[in-house]
Structure 1
Amino acid sequence: MRHLKGGPEPDKHMLRRELLAVRNGLTTDDVREAATGLAQHALQLPELAHARTVAAYVSVGSEPGTLALLDALRERGVRVLLPALLPDNDLDWGAYAGEGSLARIQHGGRMALFEPVGERLGPDAVTDADVVLLPGLAVDARGMRLGRGGGSYDRVLARLERAGARPTLVVLLYDAEVVERVPEEAHDRPVHAVVTPSGVRRFS
C-alpha cells in the first residue's frame, strides 16, 4: 500500500482537499474495477463471514464502490443496515433489500445520497451490528480514520461506545488513502481494519 507523504501533523482541511482531488480524477472504469477488488477482499474477512448484521453505506460518486459488497452480503443471508441522514447530521437506519430499495435523496446543497426506502429503525439500530463498514477519506498506520468532516460517523461511534457495543470497525478506501498519519481529536477512535482493492490491513 502506498503512503501519502506529509508533515508529522498534516492539516485536516488540506488533507481532505488533496484526497478528494485524487478521487475526483478517477474514471468510471477505475471506480468499477476498484469496487470489484474491494468486495473480493472484504468478503474474505472472517468477521463478515460470521456476521448476522452489518451496518454499511451506499457509495456515491467516486467513493470506493460498495454495491457489489452489499449484494454479496445480502445473498449470504446477512441483514444489511444502511444509513439515512437526519437534519442534525445524525444517522437513522433501514434494511437493505436490493438496489431497487434505494432512493436518491438530495440533502440541501450537499451531495445526494442513496438511502433505504423502507421502515426506519432508529439511530440505535446500529448497536445491533456485528460489523460496521465506515466511509472515509484516509486511515493511518494507527488505524485512525479521516472522515469528510460532517460528524455523522463520530456520532455513530459514540453511540456504539455508550451502548457497550463492540462491532468490528472496518473502513473502505483506495490503496493510496492508507497514509502515514492523519490528525486526530480527543473523541476519535481507531478502526480495526481497512479494506482496499489490493487487500486488508489490520490494526492492533
Structure 2
Amino acid sequence: MTRVADTIAATLRAHGIRHAFGMPGGEVVTLIDGLEAAGIRFHLARHETAAAIMAAGASVTTATPGLLVATVGPGLANAVNGIADAAQEHVPLVIVSGIVDRPTRARYTHQVIDHAAMLRPLVKASFEVEPESAGPTVARALAIALAEPMGPVHLDLSPAVAAMADPAPRPVAPPAVLRPAVAPQDPAIAALADR
C-alpha cells in the first residue's frame, strides 16, 4: 500500500530534495518514515529554529528547495525565527507541519495553533494536504516556493491523512527546469573578463 506520506516523499524526491531537517513528534513520524523510505535523509536538530536554518542552508548549497519537518503547535512555533530568515533571504523552503486530526480538532486543545494564520506573514502559500490530491498539492507548493521571488511555503499534514492509502499514488514530476543557474556560464565570465 502506498500511503499519502509515501506520495509526498516521492514527489519531494522527484523535485531533487534529498535532505529533511526537524524534530520528530507523533504527528510527523509517518511522514519521516516515508521520507527515509524514499531516500530523503532526515537530520535531527536540537531545536526547530536550528532545523529551519539548516533546511534553508541546504537549499542554498544544493540549489534545491529546503525541507523542514515540524510537529504540531509549539514545534512549528519554535521554527518561526528560521522560517522568517528564509522569507527575508528569499530561500525556497518547504515546511511540513503535523496537525491534529480533523475529528479531534474541536475538542483537542493541547498544542493546537492555527498554523496558516501564524505563518501568513512569512510564507508565500499554505495548504492542508488532502488524501486525494497529495502529489499535486506538494508539486504546486514547490512551484510557488521556486517562483520569483522565491520563498517558504507551508503544508499541514495530519497523522491520519499521512497514514491513509493514497487513492492516486503517483509522485508529481517537476518541470524541466526547477531553478535557474546561480553562477554565470564560462562564456559569460570570459566576456566580462575581456572588457
Would you say same fold, with TM above 0.5? no
Structure (1/2) with the larger helix percentage = 2
Normalised-by-shorter TM-score class:
0.3 to 0.5
Structure (1/2) with the larger strand percentage = 1
Structure 1 length as normaliser, TM-score?
Answer: 0.43
